[in-house]
A and B are shown apart, each in its own frame.
Chain A
Amino acid sequence: MINIWRLTKLQLLSTFGLNKALHTKDAKERRKQLLVSLAIVCGVLLAAVFSFGYSYAMAAAFEQIGRLDLLLAIMMAVTSVVAFFTTVYKAGGVLFSYKDYDLLMSLPVKTSHVVASRVLQLYVLNLFFTLIVMLPAGVVYALKVRPEAYYYLLFVPLLLSIPFIPIIAATVVGALISWVSSRFRASRMINLVLTLLFVVVLILGSFTLDGNQPELADLGTGLADMIFKLYPLAELYVDAISAYRVDAFLVFTLLSVLSFAVFCTVLGTRYKAIHTGLSTSRAGRKYTMQPLKASTAFQALYRKELRRYFSSSIYVLNTGIGMVLLFIMSVALLFTSPEQLGQLADVPQLQQYLNTLAPIFVSFFVALSCTTSSSISLEGNHLWILRSSPVPKHIILLSKVAVNLTITVPVTVVSCVLLMISLGTEWLESLLLLVIPVIYACFSALTGVIVNLKLPKLEWTTEVQVVKQSAAVLVAMLLSFVSLLVPLALKFLLTGLDGKVIMLGIGVILAGLCAGMYRYLKNAGERLFLGL
């Protein structure tokens, strides 16, 4: 067991850059790490405060129907569903794609322990989210209900158990997909397609679950039914914690621990075979010299970057899912009229809001699809090739921006045209709907590449550390979301002003910012790139 802890500790030190922060002698680097850590702590605290406020507001509603236990149920279910969703597409990467595989597997450690350490890495990452959501909810519940001491005794161990089952379920799916993919020649592409299909099916499935909501007569029972249908273990959790049922507590804890142990043991038996299948590239036919093509440096860099993008399933899934969701929603809106949506959401003016704010709605998905914020970090050990190449470095950076635009712009334009049809927008609204998300795509791609230049993470063992957990990705996403919140806030604050004027103003400002960032890359790109 001690080996599991040792391996997990090793990965966590690398994941959060803790070791580097603790041992670096470079004052500038230490300052940067400190600032990033401070920003993360502030972000976590802010999220915890929001979570508390949200729980408090929900508790007030549940109090009226006499079902405060539903607060814990709904928060626990949401935490688990989010843990499942966010783990399912990184599970394969964390389990099987890491650079120190050979080193770890050559150590005198059981394979099941190596698997356990990989799963625990996912567990720790999800535990943060669980704590942010469940701790404030637990405090609100305690303030409102004033429960017995048993509540506190049961709350803490159950809190630690919550992420296990969704993570194991997600890693089972991830491992199964990896296992199936490993049997094919194009294993990476199959892995990517299967994971994407699974996530899409899951999302479509969740739509049908929501559809039952209006038919439920009794709100309290209805909501409980819905939560327990969404995540049956929530019922067990609520029974244990609010009714102090020790049997439910024991079943929940045992299920969590056993599922973890069984999964690690079973996967341990097939682990090496799956890894070998995934990592072995089969030799093609004997290559014979053929006529070759020459192209410009930019085209070569663009092609290289595009191939890099599609070679990593975690990269594609993390940055492509936004575009997939946008397209699905745009198609779905063709079959649901805005009036129906307004009735469903109980917002009569929904169509008016949608028509004005649709560019921001689309831009939200564009912001989720920023590939550039991790594109420099992903160069990792290969950076020497670009640094020693006789190509102006801003060309390298712009090739990364071009790949991001290739991922976002075509899907965005098609989705916007579909939205124009479904929302019946007038000409100016249509123009804004088409132009603003495209400007946002440029803004997001340029911001991403600049942030990644400032906050590179070139030393990593798995792509997940770069694509999902690096400071550059978090900061770029935060900046994009802030830039989306500004027009939303203006729309609701400046009620007298036409929403279209606000959008027009935002479009002009963003275009100006894009031009500024382009100039910055051209002027300072060389220095920043060589300073990496």
Chain B
Amino acid sequence: MLTIRQFSKSYKGGKKAVHNLSLTVEKGDIYGFIGHNGAGKTTTIRAVVGVLDFEEGEIEIDGISMKKDPLACKSRIAYIPDNPDLYDHLTGIQYLGFIGDLFNVSRKDRELLIAKYGGAFQLTPHLGDLISGYSHGMKQKLAIISALIHKPKLLVLDEPFVGLDPKAAHTLKTIMAEVCSEGSAIFFSTHVLDTAEKLCNKIAIIKEGRLIAGGKTEDVKGENSLEEVFMELIDHD
């Protein structure tokens, strides 16, 4: 579903943010992307979703090159950044309608899915309110719903659990498992190692822009906990 081949991205001035990164996310995968602050996670994610331009390497979504056909790629992706700034001047339902229109979601599908996910995240009663009045967590929930209503093949999430209350975090985990069982894939960054260990079937660890470990979760962590492996790799590798 997502193939990253020898992707590199340099900052202005020459310093490499990501260096020669390759990984593959397959159908049904929940792929965790782990690294300390400034390791290059967000840079990689932004390139994957077509927000960040890049020169070196190749990124393919469902076999389509992001460089050659970005629109076809974007129509298969849903992206939620780490701090979703949504249009404050719209109401929740207007925003969902806007995203539905951009992704060409049918009237029937959007009614069904908004009702489903709005109910799951207990946001439906607030959908008529302006987003400017939403809390951080409510905005995060709205961004998640907007990502789910167009049934993406690849869900790319940057720190999706930040700001969510425990119930919403649990709901999100359940939904993540559900969408992957239906054939989609999820690629997400997180600092919550416990969650990554339990939720992900594959994990990649990035340090200073380089992939230092990657593959099936049980292969990466072996007999240890993910936290122990992560600390070991970050401190000594």
Contacts and interface: CB of A to CB of B under 8 A. Distances in A.
A301 to B, nearest CB: 8
Contacts of B97: 292-293, 300
Interface stretch (B105-113, B163-171, B225-233): B105-113
B13 interface: yes
B220 interface: no
Given A294-B105, A392-B71, A387 B51 contact: yes
Given A387-B50, A388-B74, A389-B74, A281 B98 contact: no
A297 B107 CA distance: 14
A287 to B, nearest CB: 3
Contacts of A285: 128
Nearest to A391: B102
A281 B133 contact: yes
B146 to A, nearest CB: 9
The contact size tier of chain A is 35 or more
Interface stretch (A46-54, A150-158, A303-311, A322-330): A303-311
B89 interface: yes
Given A284-B129, A294-B106, A390 B74 contact: yes
Contact of B101 (A296, A307, A380): A296
A285 B126 CA distance: 8
B194 interface: no
Contact of B125 (A282, A287, A308, A530): A287
A530 B53 contact: yes
Given A287-B126, A289-B118, A389-B102, A26 B49 contact: no
Contact of A281 (B70, B105, B130): B130
A6 interface: no
A303 B97 CA distance: 11
Nearest to B85: A381
Interface residues of B, number: 50
A146 interface: no
Nearest to B106: A294
Contacts of B87: 304, 308, 382, 385
A283 interface: yes
A299 B53 CA distance: 28
Interface in B125-178: 125-130, 132-133
Contact of A292 (B51, B88, B114): B114
A73 B93 CA distance: 57
Q: Which of B12, B13, B97, B101 has the most chain A CB atoms closer than 10 A to its own CB?
A: B101
Contacts of A389: 74, 99, 102-103
Interface stretch (B23-31, B32-40, B75-83): B75-83
B116 to A, nearest CB: 10
B133 A280 contact: yes
| Chain A binding surface SS class | loop
Nearest to A381: B85
Contacts of B105: 294
Nearest to B88: A311
A392 B69 CA distance: 11
A292 B50 contact: no
B99 to A, nearest CB: 8
Contacts of B213: none
Given A308-B89, A389-B102, A294 B110 contact: yes
Interface string B49-86: 11101000000000000000011111101010100011
Nearest to A188: B89
Contacts of A287: 92-93, 124-129
Contacts of A293: 97, 107
Nearest to B128: A287
B201 interface: no
A445 to B, nearest CB: 21
B90 interface: yes
B215 interface: no
Given A287-B129, A289-B118, A392-B71, A304 B90 contact: yes
B115 interface: yes
B133 A283 contact: yes
Interface of A: 25-26, 279-289, 291-297, 299-301, 303-304, 307-308, 311-312, 380-382, 384-385, 387-392, 526, 530-531
10 contacts: A284-B91, A287-B126, A287-B129, A288-B124, A294-B105, A300-B97, A390-B71, A390-B72, A390-B73, A530-B70
